[in-house]
Amino acid sequence: MQEHISSDFHQDLNIFQSLQRASQIWSQKVALEAPLHCPELKLTYAQAAERCSALAASLAERFVPGDRIACLMPNCYVYFDLYYAAAAAGLVLVPINFRLSAREIAHILMDSDSRVLFVHDDFADLARVVMQRLAGQIQKLPELISVGEGYEPVITSSANAEWQAVKTSANDLAQIYYTSGTTGNPKGVMLTHLNVHANAMAAAQEMSMTDRERWGHVAPLFHLVDAWAVFAVTMAGGTHIFAPYFKAQEMHGILASGVTNLALVPTMVATCLDLLQGDYPDLHTIMTAGSPMAPQLVKRLEETLGCRYVQFYGMTETSPFLTLSLETETDKQSTYEHRLATRCRTGRSITGVTLDVVDAEGNSVPRDDKTIGEVIARGLNISPGYWRNPQATNEAIRQGWIYTGDLAVINENGSINIVDRKKDMIITGGENVFSCEVEHVLLEHPSILECAVYGIPDEKWGERVQASIVLKPDAESLSEREVMDFVRDRLARYKAPRVVEFLSELPKTGSGKIRKKELRDRFWR
């Protein structure tokens, strides 16, 4: 079928081109700001592109295209620099979660074979421990470059004004993100220039982004909950507002500075909503991802802040967008309750993504909003796979479709609702129990702070339902029986935990997800 195109044809693409374009159209417009933490910082798109070019030229002197460079930083304009400069130099950026342990970070640096680690001063100590760990294990340690003191010299070391961005093809790698690893060591998810570009373009289109946007980069930029917005906002010519860390008490100041939209995780919303009551006329959209938001919380969010709410769902492997809970023209003519319920769903596929919910044989489940299947998807934003891990790649991506491992229902408008992770589903006496459903009921109990529901071995039933529970600090104690009865009053009997344990805390990953596998594995060894 390819007789007409020469066999060495590669579609050329580099995500840095979007920044070059922005610097042409919006040259004098402010691209980068940090109003709360660095009020004097105001870089225009022309300046931002120039900085990135200079940094890229400097990187290109030290490294060869395809090399990995890692970073350990809070949100700041240097993150923006590195995302684009790495791309322009043909390098692969490895953004590292700063909440990970030294052991995990060392693993990432070794696995990705990163040549350098950009470290913000806030993590200098952590980086030192990481290097000590690595010293015994590899011959050539990654170079440490301190962001703050050492960073500016790197940028200005290259006097080569004629330097041109490295030519990359659409399928060349732009970034590797390590997934938080609720099971085993983190795996590197490879994202190509095309993945990142296609996701950003679809997001900018669906969210109707224009150069009016002032995007608040509040969620950490090492994670795709927010990092995608770097690329989408630049495409639209909007302004990037940086806050180094999410802090509930800073949110008022950030919103008051004229931020128009944000992407957060639901816990961030919950923790800051009490502190926000101002009038934020510029704010128009808050998006969340990572887990469902209760309709009551969405309602409160929209009423308190006077903005619209959009839920999105995806994963690192999908750059990250798979769905958005946008309303159709028809939804908009419906009742408030229907519309709110639509906005609180996982959502329908984003432009360019083909999505399906399939049974074990790979057949589409009925679109009855009841039958449960696994979410699969294809599109330009789907990762080509895991870094140096073809086995994991072949398990996750088959015939161009990514198998998300998420179980969901789908309605007649193609809108899905996630019910559980596939591997967290419990089969007891032939019945399927979705751990999330039980957890949601448990979290309604006024004394319960956190919980995890999972299956443990049972000779008669195959598995039985167990719950690990953390009580609120000031809560009265609860008995196992009270917990069981609470669930039985609200769900089918077989879904109620048969064993309840009370813990002072639950094991978590660096990005804050509960390590359910660790809890479960105690019983399966």
First to last CA, the chain: 52
CB of 380 to its own copies, least distance (A): 6
* Binder among 20, 157, 271, 371 for its own copies (CB under 8 A): 20
CA 255/CA 224 separation, integer angstroms:
21
Selected range binding its own copies among 190-198, 421-429, 436-444, 464-472, rule: CB under 8 A: 190-198
Helix axes 16-25, 45-62, angle to 10 degrees: 150
For the bound state, the minimum distance from the C-beta of residue 288 to its own copies, rounded and expressed in Å, comes to 21
Minimum Å gap between C-beta 369 and its own copies is 14
9 makes contact with its own copies (CB under 8 A): yes
The H or E element spanning position 517 is helix 516-524
Contact code string over 77-116 relative to its own copies, x by CB under 8 A: -------------x--------------------------
Q: Which is nearer to its own copies, 253 or 366 (CB)?
A: 366
- Sign of the C-alpha dihedral computed for residues 265, 401, 180 and 242 taken in this order: negative
Q: Give the separation between CA 225 and CA 312, rounded to whole angstroms.
A: 9
Omega cis (within 30) before 320 = yes
378 binds its own copies (CB under 8 A): yes
Size of the site for its own copies (CB under 8 A): 70
Rounded Cα gap, residues 72 and 62, in angstroms: 20
Q: Select from 146, 205, 371, 432 the one that contacts its own copies (CB under 8 A).
A: 205
Strands 239-242 and 30-33: parallel
Q: How far is the CB of 524 from its own copies (least distance, A)?
A: 33
Taking CB under 8 A as the binding criterion, the range among 12-20, 36-44, 251-259, 435-443 that sits at the site for its own copies is: 12-20
Phi, psi of 509 (to 5 degrees): -85, 170
3-class secondary structure for 98-137? CCCCHHHHHHHHHHHCEEEEEEEHHHHHHHHHHHHHHHCC
Give yes or no for residue 348 binding its own copies (CB under 8 A).
yes
Out of 181, 292, 379, 497, name the contact with its own copies by CB under 8 A: 379
Residues 411-440 within binding reach of its own copies (CB under 8 A): 412-415
**Which is closer to its own copies, CB of 190 or CB of 484?**
190
Per-residue mark of binding to its own copies, 216-255 (x: CB under 8 A): -------------------xxx------------------
Q: Which is nearer to its own copies, 415 or 509 (CB)?
A: 415
- Dig out the tokens for 259 from the structure: 């931020």
Show the beta-strand stretches assigned E in 347-387.
Answer: 348-349, 353-358, 373-379, 385-386
Return the number of other C-beta atoms located less than 10 Å from residue 175's C-beta: 27
Of the ranges 17-25, 34-42, 146-154, 475-483, which one interacts with its own copies (CB under 8 A)?
17-25
SS3 content of the chain, % helix, strand, coil (to 5): 35, 25, 40
Closer Cβ to its own copies, 379 or 497, answer by number: 379
Q: Tell me how far CA of residue 487 lies from CA of 182, 475, 494, in angstroms.
A: 26, 18, 10
Return phi, psi of residue 442, to 5°: -60, -40
Contact status: 198 vs its own copies (CB under 8 A): yes
> Interface with its own copies includes 306 (CB under 8 A)?
no
Give the contact letters, 138-177, x = binds to its own copies (CB under 8 A), - = no.
-----------------------------xx-xxxx----
Within residues 21-40, the interface with its own copies by CB under 8 A covers 21, 24-29
- CB nearer to its own copies: pick between 277 and 394: 394
Nearest approach, Cβ of residue 257 and its own copies (Å) = 17
Q: Which of 197, 223, 345, 516 binds its own copies (CB under 8 A)?
A: 197
CA-to-CA separations, 25 to 193, 210, 402, in angstroms, rounded: 22, 13, 37
CB 74 within 8 A of CB 250: no
Of the residues 330, 391, 477, 504, which one makes contact with its own copies according to CB under 8 A: 330
- Contact flags string 381-410 toward its own copies, x per CB under 8 A: ---xx-xx-x--------xx----------
Task: Report the nearest approach of its own copies to the CB of residue 362 (Å).
Answer: 11
Q: Which of 520, 442, 435 is nearest to 482 (CA)?
A: 442
Q: What is the greatest pairwise CA distance in the chain? A: 74
The nearer residue to its own copies, 229 or 353, going by C-beta atoms, is 353
Which run of H or E residues covers position 188? strand 188-192
**Residue 216 or 497: which CB sits closer to its own copies?**
216
Q: Among residues 146 and 371, whose Cβ is nearest to its own copies?
A: 371
Q: How far is the CB of 83 from its own copies (least distance, A)?
A: 17
* Least distance CB 427 / its own copies (angstroms): 30
Among 273, 380, 449, 491, indicate the residue that binds its own copies (CB under 8 A).
380
- In whole angstroms, give the CA distance from residue 91 to residue 156: 19
Nearer of residues 30 and 141 to its own copies, judged by Cβ: 30
> Minimal CA–CA distance to 287: which of 325, 334, 251?
325
Cα-based angle 504, 508, 509 (whole degrees, multiple of 5)? 165
Three-state DSSP class for residue 68: strand
Contact residues for its own copies, defined by CB under 8 A: 1-6, 9, 11-13, 17-18, 20-21, 24-29, 65-66, 90, 167-168, 170-173, 190, 192, 194, 197-198, 201-202, 204-205, 208-212, 235-237, 328-330, 348-349, 351-355, 378-380, 384-385, 387-388, 390, 399-400, 412-415
